[in-house]
Structure 1
Amino acid sequence: MNANGSLRVIERFYSQAECEGIYKSFILDHDWPINTYTVGERCFVLPRLQTWHADSGIRYSYRYNLLETRPWTPLLTGIRQRVEAYLNISFNSVLANLYRDGNDYVGWHADDEPELGERPIIASLTFGTARNFAFRHKKLDRQGEVVLTDGALLIMHPEFQRDWQHSLSPDSGIGSGRINLTFRKVIAP
């Protein structure tokens, strides 16, 4: 992995036993709606399940689609506190994604929306099946990937969002699910 030092992975941020319990809780107790998004006048179904949780008054949109803000759950609050304590950074929101199997994905993008400010730091946690996190430079012919395993914490520093795009490509060989939580600090309007 080489993205000019703008990515950092902490393997086993959560133990295997913790991961199993957290994943099970998300599958059994978390409401995962089918989400749609609009591009121009066309409506599409998001190729994964997703919820957005944030402090009161925090709103977030990407690709001009405003996400419905939900309150923090006790599980998300506990995870948030652990990540914040480890990184000594405060976050006010989390995007929770359920990739049901290898057919679910997220295309190339950078988390560089104006609501995230000029120098966003994003902490991304994986629970469940390992998936390849790919990245490519926005201007140079450089790319890479890292496998994000169960319990791994990925820290994307500000330079990563500025200089790189990332994706989670479809992989028909994967038959099991993955939960991904991306903690962010949204700048309130």
Structure 2
Amino acid sequence: MMTLRLKSEPISEEEEEGEPTPSSRSGEEPAKKSTRVDLGNGSEVVYMPRFLSSDESWRFYNYLNSRIPWTRPTIRVFGRSCLQHRDTCYVANAGLTDLVYSGYQPHAYSWDDYPLLKEILEAVHNVLPGSKFNSLLLNRYKGGSDYVGWHSDDEKLYGSAPEIASVSFGCEREFFLKKKPSKTSQARRPDDGPVRKRSRIGSDAAQHTFVLKHGSLLVMRGYTQRDWIHSVPKRAKAEGVRINLTFRRIVS
């Protein structure tokens, strides 16, 4: 169900349950909309397609695309070394546990190195009361052949039920969620092919699909990383650059 929200106001519990929030002052900009998807068993996703205005989004996009020290690292997948299929950068508070994934440990830059990142972080905190993100993994998809395969962000340093806030800029790309294989089927390697569903926001009992728009915010909460995997697959027609910021909290 679509819900209404004013700019710079937090996403409230009532909104997530589907109650509309009207504008409180005449002449205020049109209310924004968010969608809450209950995945069951303590997992949920909240999607806000217009988290940032168009002007803000392009300002951030141009800054990120030109100023961030992007790198395309070599990682290890199924025991083999390969070039990661997207550019990346990492920002974190000082003194946190190092991030390591697929055999790669990125250098942790400071928030002070890139001040506009703190603006985006503040905007995220404003709409997610109680959130205290202290690290940020940035990814840049330079075209439709760049992608991220099926995975979950279930590293121990994020705790057992992490909240992850994902802000997207640039080219729209599909984001898929699907239920992890049951224990009885985990002996088989999960299907790494793309989910076939193509609705704008679609779902069935085991999978959900979102098209992440320029300036949008998607939040994964609860046990989503424990019970679900997600991906951004290749798309031949996606010719533009997409930049994605995933805010996380390191707890250990």
Q: TM-score, normalised by structure 1?
A: 0.93
Q: Give the equivalent residue in structure 1 for 2:155.
A: 113
Q: CA RMSD in A?
A: 1.7
8 Å CA contact 2:90–2:108 kept in 1: the answer is yes
Find the partner of 1:85 among 97, 119, 126: 126
Confirm whether residue 11 of structure 1 aligns to residue 49 of structure 2: yes
- Whole-Å Cα distance in 2 between the matches of residues 40 and 109 of structure 1? 13
For residues 61-104 of structure 1, what are the alpha-carbon distances to aligned partners after superposition, in whole Å with 9 as ceiling and x for unaligned? 12343222111110111111111122021100000000111111
Select between 60-69 and 152-161 the one with higher mean Cα deviation: 60-69
Tell me which amino acid in the other structure corresponds to 1:187. Answer: V
- Max Rg structure: 2
Identity of aligned residues (%): 35
8 Å CA contact 1:32–1:49 kept in 2: the answer is yes
Confirm whether residue 44 of structure 1 aligns to residue 82 of structure 2: yes
* Partner SS, residue 66 of structure 2: helix
In structure 2, do the counterparts of structure 1 residues 104 and 40 end up closer, same or farther at CA, with 3 Å as the change threshold?
closer
- Whole-Å Cα distance in 2 between the matches of residues 50 and 38 of structure 1? 15
8 Å CA contact 2:142–2:242 kept in 1: the answer is yes
Find the partner of 1:71 among 99, 110, 124: 110
Q: Give the equivalent residue in structure 2 for 1:187.
A: 251
Moved over 6 A (4+): none
Unaligned stretches of 5+ in structure 1? none
Find the partner of 1:155 among 211, 214, 219: 219
* Partner SS, residue 6 of structure 1: strand
8 Å CA contact 1:60–1:186 kept in 2: the answer is no
In structure 2, do the counterparts of structure 1 residues 41 and 110 end up closer, same or farther at CA, with 3 Å as the change threshold?
closer
For residues 93-140 of structure 1, what are the alpha-carbon distances to aligned partners after superposition, in whole Å with 9 as ceiling and x for unaligned? 000000111111000001111011111000000011111001110136
- Whole-Å Cα distance in 1 between the matches of residues 108 and 241 of structure 2? 24
Q: TM-score, normalised by structure 2?
A: 0.70
- Whole-Å Cα distance in 2 between the matches of residues 146 and 39 of structure 1? 26
- Whole-Å Cα distance in 2 between the matches of residues 109 and 42 of structure 1? 17
Confirm whether residue 33 of structure 1 aligns to residue 47 of structure 2: no
- Whole-Å Cα distance in 2 between the matches of residues 28 and 64 of structure 1? 27
In structure 2, do the counterparts of structure 1 residues 39 and 11 end up closer, same or farther at CA, with 3 Å as the change threshold?
closer
Find the partner of 1:169 among 233, 243, 247: 233
- Whole-Å Cα distance in 2 between the matches of residues 96 and 163 of structure 1? 24
What is the number of residues matched between the two proteins? 188
* Partner SS, residue 153 of structure 2: coil
- Whole-Å Cα distance in 1 between the matches of residues 79 and 206 of structure 2? 34
8 Å CA contact 2:177–2:207 kept in 1: the answer is yes
Unaligned stretches of 5+ in structure 2? 1-36, 183-204
